[in-house]
Amino acid sequence: MKENKMGVMEMKKLILTMSFPIMISMLVQALYNIIDSMFVARVSEAALAAVSLCYPVQMILIAVACGTGVGVNALLSRYLGEKKYKEANQIALHGLFLAICNWLIFAVLGMFFSEAFLRIFSSDEQILQMGISYMKICTLFSFGVFVQITYERIMQSTGNTIYNMIIQGVGALINIILDPIFIFGYFGLPAFGVKGAAIATVIGQMIAMMLGIIITQKKIKEVKIHPKEWKLDIKMIGKMYQIGFPAILMQSIMSFMTVFMNMILIPFSELAVSVFSIYFKLQQFVFMAVLGMNNALIPIISYNFGAKKKERILEAIHFSLIISSIIMILGTVVFELFPKELLYLFDAKENMLSIGIPALRIISISFVFAGISIVLCSVFQALGHANQSLLITLLRQLVILIPLTWILVRNFGLDIGWISFPITEIICTVLSIGMLINIKRKTIMKIN
C-alpha cells in the first residue's frame, strides 16, 4: 500500500487541505448553536435561560464523544503510520463499541437526574419544566451524536476530512431548517417551543450518523469495519483512554467552568447567565476554526511520530501556531468592533446590552493567547504527553479562572470580573510554551 499523504505531502498544504473541511464543518456546527439560541430567545427570556442551563450537560456529552474520538484518532493514525492495519481496524471497531456504551450511560443519567441538576440553579418552575424536557430528549437520543463523532474521527485518521464537512454540514443544515418548524409549529405541527429545539437537534444528529456510516463503508479504504471481526480487547480500550481520557477531561472542564460561572453570575441575575451563554456560543464561532485545525493536526503529528519524521512534526507545530494566531486576531477584531450587533442577534434589550458589551470586549482580549495554548495542548496529546495537555486545560478553565473571576466579581463588580479571562490565558500561554520547549528536547529531538 502506498504511503499515506500525511507522511509525504508538503506540510503547509497538508494542514490547510485537511483542516479546511473540518473548520467549515465545525463553523457550521457553531452557526447552528447560535441560530438554535436565536430561535429559542424569540420564544421568551425564560426559554433562553432554560437552554442556557442545559448547555453544560450537552458540552459534557460532546466532550465524552470527542475525547473518546481523540483516542481513536491518535491510535488509528499511529497504527496506519506503522503499517499495522489489523490493529487499526480493531481500534475503529472498539471506538464504535465505546460510542454505544457512552450513549447508554447518558441516556440513564438524563432520564433520572435532569431535574435534580437544573434545580441547583433555578427554582422557577417554567424554566425547570422547559429545561427538563430539553435535556431528556437530547440525552435519550444521543446515540446519533456519539456514533457520528466516532465515524468522523475514523475518517480524519486516514486523512479524509472533506467527508466531515459533508456530514456535519448536512446534520447542522437539517437542524437549522427544522428548528423554526418544531419550535413555532409550521406546516400543521404544534408549537413545541424549547422541546422543538431538542427534537430538531437529535434528528440532525441521527441523519449525520447515517451519512457517516454510509460514507465510511463506501469511501474509506484504509480501514475495514466488519463487526464480526471485533474481539473485545481491554488493553486496547486502556490505550485509547490513556490518550482519550485527558481529552475528555479537557473538554468536560469547559462544562464545569460554565457551571461554576453560572453559580458566580446567578446572584446578579438570570440575565447575566444568559449573557455568558450567548458569549460562549459566539466565541465558539472563532474557537471552532482553531479546533477544526487541531482535529487535523493530531492525526498529522501522530502519523509522523509513528513514522519517525521529526522535521515534519516541527514544521506542523510552527505553521499551526501561525494560522491559529491569525484566526484569533480576526476574532478579537470582530468582538471589539461589533459587540452590540452580535448581541442583537439574540433579541438583546438594553439591560442585556449593558452587561454583554463590556463582557465581549474584555474577554476577546484573551483570544490570541487561548489559541496558542489550544494548539500546543493538541501537540502534547499527539506526542503522548496528554497529562501536560490536561494540566494546561485545568489551569485555563478551572484552577486559575474560576477563583480569579469570583474574587474580581465579588470585590469589583461584573465588568471588572471579565478581566480574569485575559489574565488566565496569558499565564497559561507562558506555561504551554515552557512545556513545548521541554517536550521538544525530550521527545521530538530524540527521534532517529
CB 344 within 8 Å of CB 325: no
- Cα–Cα distances in angstroms (integers) from residue 394 to residues 39, 379, 399, in the given order: 33, 17, 6
426: cell is 496569558
What are the DSSP E strand ranges found in 230-385?
none
| C-alpha grid cell, residue 431 | 506555561
* pTM to 2 decimal places: 0.71
pLDDT, tens digit, 9 for 90 and up, residues 32-88: 777 777 888 888 878 888 888 888 888 889 889 988 888 888 888 778 777 777 888
Cα atoms in the Cβ-side hemisphere of radius 13 Å centred on 178:
20
18 pLDDT tier (thresholds 50, 70, 90): confident
pLDDT interval class at 6 (50, 70, 90): low
Please, what is the Cα angle at 140 between 139 and 142, to 5 degrees?
Answer: 60
Asked whether the beta carbons of 139 and 114 are under 8 A apart, the reply is yes
On the question of pLDDT at 26 being above 80, the answer is no
If you ran DSSP here, which 8-state letter would residue 397 be given? I
Cell numbers standing for residue 337: 468592533
Q: Is the pLDDT of residue 212 over 80?
A: yes
- Cα separation, 386 vs 379, in Å, equals 9
Asked whether 247 and 209 are in contact (CB, 8 A), the reply is no
Q: Is 263 helix (H, G, I), strand (E, B) or coil?
A: helix
pLDDT for position 4: 61
Tell me how long the chain is.
448
Q: Are 236 and 94 in contact (CB under 8 A)?
A: yes
* Confidence band for 99, pLDDT divided at 50, 70 and 90: very high
Which pLDDT score is estimated for 250? 67
Rounded to whole angstroms, what are the CA distances from 181 to 50, 172, 193, 200, 326?
20, 15, 10, 9, 38
Q: Which amino acid is at 397?
A: Q
Nearest to 409 by CA among 287, 267, 276: 267
